[in-house]
Structure 1
C-alpha cells in the first residue's frame, strides 16, 4: 500500500458537508468528498463516471490540521442584471489562512496514477470551491509501504512561518489528525462526506466513520536553530604565528 499526501494551503478554503441552498457552511477540515473530487478533476474524469468514482472513493482518507485558520462569513446580495429583481440573500463561510495535509491510501498503481495526475492536472485543483485556488502546489509526494498515520507523521510541518513562531520553544509539535477508521476498528464519529455520485442532477454522499488522534511532528525552525548551535567554530592554531611572520 502507498499513501499520497497533499498540501492544502490558500487564503480561503471551503469544505462543505451539509451546505444547503443559500447558506453554504464549511467544515473545520477538508472533507473526503472534496479531496476525491479534486483528484477526479485532476484526472479529467466525467462527473457521471460512477464506476471510476467508486474506485477513488474506496481509498482510505485522513487529514492533518497544520494551521487551523479562522472561520469567516461572506454575506452576499445580488440583483438580476436585466430584470433588476433581487436574488436570494446568501451566506458563504470560509476558512481563512488555514493549512492542511491530506492523505489518501490505496494500491500502489492507483496512488501512482493519482500522483501523476497532480503533476499535470487536466482540471486545475481548488480548495473546496472554484473561488478558492491554492497558494502553493497541492502535490507533496508518495509514501510507499506505509499507512495514513505514519505518512502524516513523516510529512514535515507545513504551517506558515508566522504561525510556527507561536511554538518556537517546542522541539516537536502535536498536530490533530482526522483519520478514516481501519477495517475492524470501532469507535469514532461519523461525517456525511463519503462520495457515492458527483452527478450534477443527483449528488449523493454516505456516512463515513472517522477517529481523531494526534501525531508529533518535528519543528523545523527549532531543529535548524539546534543544528546551528552545534556547529564547531573554525580554529587554526597556527594562524597567529603566520600573521606575526
Structure 2
C-alpha cells in the first residue's frame, strides 16, 4: 500500500481596491469578471510567484485543491473606453497575417469601444491544499515573488500581504476556522447590527469531484499562442466563521493591543 503523502493548506488573503477574475469566454471588447477568484487566476498568481514562464508545465499547480471564501463581496465597476488612432488611421484588427502582423479592420473602423469590469473593495480567502513540500515552496514564493503579483489582471495589485501561512486540516475545516478577513470598518458595522455575535455566515466554493457545478477555468497552458483550459467540479456551501470582533487569547497576534488605524475606522 502506498503511504499517504502529508498535505497542508496555504491561506491567501486576496484583497485590493480592484480585482478582476475573467474566464475564457470573454470577448476582446468586453472583459467581464467572475464574482470570485477563478482557479486559473490563483494558479497564475502562484506560477508568477514561483518565477515560472508562460510555457512551463502546470500539472502540479492545477492538481491542488482550491477553496474560496467570500469575506467581502465588493461591487461591480465598469470601465468604459473608446479607442482610436491619434493619426486618424483605421484601427487594426485582432487577426494576424502569416508573418504575425495585425490585419487592418475590414471595413475600416476608426473608433473601437471596449468595456472592462472589476470587483471593487472585495476581500476573499483562498485556501490551496496539496503536498506539504509543494505548499511550503509556494508559501515562500508568494512571500518572495519572482514576478509582480496581481489579482486577476496586471493592473490589480494586492493591497496587503497575501500569505497568511499554512494550516493543517481539511480544506473546508481550515476555511471554517480562519477568522473573518473583511475590512475592519465592515466587521464593526456588522458587529453593531448583530450584537457582536461571535460568528458570521459566509459563502464558499470548494473543489469537489461530486460537486453540482462545472467550471471551465483550470489552465492547461498559459502560452500566449496556445492558452488552453479544462473543467473542474465545485460545491457551494455556507460556513460559520469566527468574526474576530472579540480578541481570541489562543490566537497569536490577536491580543487586542494598540491599533494605529483604529481612529480611521479601518
Length-normalised TM-score, structure 2:
0.78
Indicate conservation of the 8 Å contact 2:177/2:242, yes or no: no
The residue aligned with 1:164 is 187
TM-superposed CA distance for 1:84, in Å, is 4.9
CA–CA separation in structure 1 for the residues paired with 2:141 and 2:49 = 5
State the SS of the aligned residue for 2:211: coil
Unaligned runs of 5+ in 1: 226-245
CA–CA separation in structure 1 for the residues paired with 2:211 and 2:62 = 21
The residue aligned with 1:175 is 202
Deviates more, 1:82-91 or 1:93-102: 82-91
TM-superposed CA distance for 1:82, in Å, is 3.8
CA–CA separation in structure 2 for the residues paired with 1:163 and 1:126 = 24
TM-superposed CA distance for 1:208, in Å, is 1.1
RMSD after superposition: 1.5
TM-superposed CA distance for 1:83, in Å, is 4.4
1:139 to 154, 157, 163: 163
The residue aligned with 1:64 is 69
CA–CA separation in structure 2 for the residues paired with 1:187 and 1:129 = 28
Looking at secondary structure, tell me which structure has more helix per residue. Answer: 1
The residue aligned with 1:154 is 177
The residue aligned with 1:77 is 82
Structure exhibiting the larger radius of gyration computed from Cα positions: 1
CA–CA separation in structure 1 for the residues paired with 2:117 and 2:78 = 5
4+ residue runs over 6 A deviation: none
CA–CA separation in structure 2 for the residues paired with 1:114 and 1:100 = 19
Aligned length, in residue pairs: 218
TM-superposed CA distance for 1:73, in Å, is 0.8
Unaligned runs of 5+ in 2: 1-6, 91-109, 249-266
The residue aligned with 2:224 is 200
CA–CA separation in structure 2 for the residues paired with 1:88 and 1:151 = 46
